[in-house]
Structure 1
Amino acid sequence: MRAAIMYEAGDVRVQDALDPVIEQSTDAVVRIVRSCVCGSDLHPYHTMSASDGPVPMGHEFLGVVEELGSEVSGFKRGDLVVSPFAFADNTCELCREGLHTSCPNGGFYAAGGVGGGQAEAVRVPQAQGTLVKLPVGEDSALLPSLLTLADVYGTGYHAAKQARVTRGDTVTVIGDGAVGLLAVLSAKQLGAERIILMGRHKDRTDLGRHFGATDVIPERGEEGIAKLRDLTAGQGSRAVLEAVGHMPAYEMAVGAVRPGGVISRVGVPQYEDAPIGFGSLFGPNITLTGGPAPVRAYIDELLPAVLDGAVEPGRVFDRTVSLDQVPEGYRAMDQREALKVFVTP
């Protein structure tokens, strides 16, 4: 089969790879029909050393079941499925609590000997607990929106849920990438009355307004914080959703949240020393939460609105490439020429 492999920063190649096979009785082999490039894929694209490569890439995909291990039930060959970016058994205590990304029998694609989603096929461990069957065909016009259930839509929703967004809330979203925009959509779904999007790319913030943003702040740093406080009568927001993962975004979140509020981080942190002391979070009784989204816990909840067209999270895809063009997809996202790249076979 063909698969995207990263060798080092800036070096992604599509090449021949071993076909996936059933290794455990709980596995499935899935032929990938749609995948994409994630903003988090750009972190190794910027920083990975040659000594850490080569590694398979991709963790978001829709696919058709080709083979099933002997312990996998509820699926058959030919089923169209979506997979969360983290596989899990969906039966352990942590999964039952909605913490699928901490499942002791789980893990992540493109790590630990499991192939990546930017490929023609992939082995899915813990297939029965991980995969969700979709009631459409592989030619459905809904595939872009359904693909967002693998990561970005569920991650944006996790940001809002962890921040306990409720009806009437004022919410600030930091970051106009795909996760930030779908955090806007999620906050709107949960009833937020005012949603302030902090982003500076007009084509993206226009989409954010479509998803429910009521205000847009393009300024950054202290200037952006001052603008936000002007909009909120000097108080800041009760819920701040940080969808970037870099220190300047976190510092803006600390400046934007009001006393007693919540900062919910879902941007993969590219820093270790975040301020959490008396003057930043402790003194004003601010809650810091977030983490890798257990999107399997949200798929059943989010799927109906996608199927009936009430929401269109797939609008975050603004460029389509073939699998062999994936390196160009990385380049386009890195150069801010694309918001999120959709990958076809």
Structure 2
Amino acid sequence: MKANIMYAAGDVRVEELPVPKVQLQTDAVLKVVASCICGSDLHPYRSMHSHDHPEGEAMGHEVIGRIEKMGSEVSGFEKGDLVIVPFAFGDNTCPYCQEGLMTSCVHGGFMTGCQAEYVRVPQAQGSMFKLPKEIDENSPLLPSLLTLSDVYGTGYHAAVMGSVNENTTVAVIGDGAVGLLAVMAAKKLGAEKIILMGRHKERTDLGIEFGATHVIPERGEEGVAKVRELTNGEGVHVVLECVGLKPAYEMSIGAVRAGGVISRVGVPQYEEAAVGFESLFGRNITLTGGPAPTRAYMEELLPDILDGTLEPGRVFDVTVDFDGVPEGYRLMNNREALKVLVKP
């Protein structure tokens, strides 16, 4: 099968690998119907050192596929079922999964190797989400359904953890796919004032269509000042930080009001950050967020996609086949693409 392997910064190669097999009886093997490139994939694309990964890393963690094989401990599915797999797999029965926190599953982990023709799914029964029979490989809903694997579920997680509702003002930092879908999520949860902080007009225009009421392209202290101008000098109730870089966190501190919430879902590229009296403690600010347990949100988010109420798949603006994945990385890295869909 064809699979995309990253060896070093900027070095993604299409290679021929054996089709994965069922290794444990809790596994399934899928024939990939749709995958994609994530913004978080760009972190190693920009920084991976070849000496740390001599055998390369199989890339991709978002997938829709048809079941080819299943272990004997996987029930409730049939060969040929079309399923979504969350980027974090889990058994869906441990105490953490039962609390909706599959990303902390005691038998869980993170998907890899989805930018390929076939992929092995660990903990398949707890992870796979079966799609309705009427959905097939040619469905126009497929891109939107794929966002449930990660980016829409992640944007929704940001809003849920931030307790967004009709009484909250919201600032979303970041105009990547997660940021734009955090806007959609905040709108779904009732927020009436949603400030999108991003500087790429073609993206922020889409954010406005998703529900943003204001756009602030400025960064740093200037961006914070603009947020406060729009909120009577107070700042917003909730900041959804969808970037993961320290300047975005620092802007979050400046933009949030006393008693507010900073909800982070951008994968942090830093360890040390201000949490003391002057930054968070003294103003009673809550810091929350984390990796999204997207499997926990699929049942809730699916109906809006099936009936056409919401189209999160509009974040995909380029489609490639498996041979085109290296070029897809280049396009996303150069901001020539927002999010790249990968289809056979």
* TM above 0.5: yes
Q: Which 4+ residue blocks in structure 1 deviate beyond 3 angstroms?
A: none
Which residue is equivalent to 2:95? 93
Which residue is equivalent to 2:336? 337
Identity in percent: 68
Q: How many residues align?
A: 340
Which residue is equivalent to 2:182? 183
What is the 5 A alignment of 1:25-64?
25-53=25-53, 54-64=56-66
Tell me, what secondary structure is at the counterpart of 1:278?
coil
Which residue is equivalent to 1:200? 199
Which residue is equivalent to 1:237? 236
Distance 1:303 1:17 in 2: 34
What's the TM-score once normalised by structure 2's chain length? 0.98
Structure 2 runs not aligned, ≥5 long: none
2:127 is matched with which residue: 130, 148, 170? 130
User: What amino acid is the match of 2:6?
Assistant: M
Distance 2:60 2:144 in 1: 17
Moved more, 33-42 or 136-145: 136-145
Structure 1 runs not aligned, ≥5 long: 111-115
User: What amino acid is the match of 2:74?
Assistant: V
Distance 2:288 2:49 in 1: 31
What is the 5 A alignment of 1:1-345?
1-53=1-53, 54-110=56-112, 116-135=113-132, 136-345=135-344
After TM superposition, give the deviation of residue 31 of structure 1 in Å: 0.4
What's the TM-score once normalised by structure 1's chain length? 0.98
C-alpha distance after superposition, 1:87-117 (max 9, x if no partner): 100011100001100001011122xxxxx11
C-alpha distance after superposition, 1:186-215 (max 9, x if no partner): 000000010000000000000000000000
Distance 2:319 2:29 in 1: 25
Distance 2:69 2:119 in 1: 11
Which residue is equivalent to 1:113? none
Q: Aligned-pair RMSD on alpha carbons?
A: 0.6
After TM superposition, give the deviation of residue 51 of structure 1 in Å: 2.0
After TM superposition, give the deviation of residue 17 of structure 1 in Å: 1.1
After TM superposition, give the deviation of residue 138 of structure 1 in Å: 1.6
Distance 1:52 1:79 in 2: 38
C-alpha distance after superposition, 1:245-301 (max 9, x if no partner): 001111100000000000000000001111111100000000000000000110111
Distance 1:180 1:170 in 2: 16
After TM superposition, give the deviation of residue 224 of structure 1 in Å: 0.5
C-alpha distance after superposition, 1:58-104 (max 9, x if no partner): 00011000011101111111111000001100011100001100001
Distance 1:320 1:19 in 2: 24
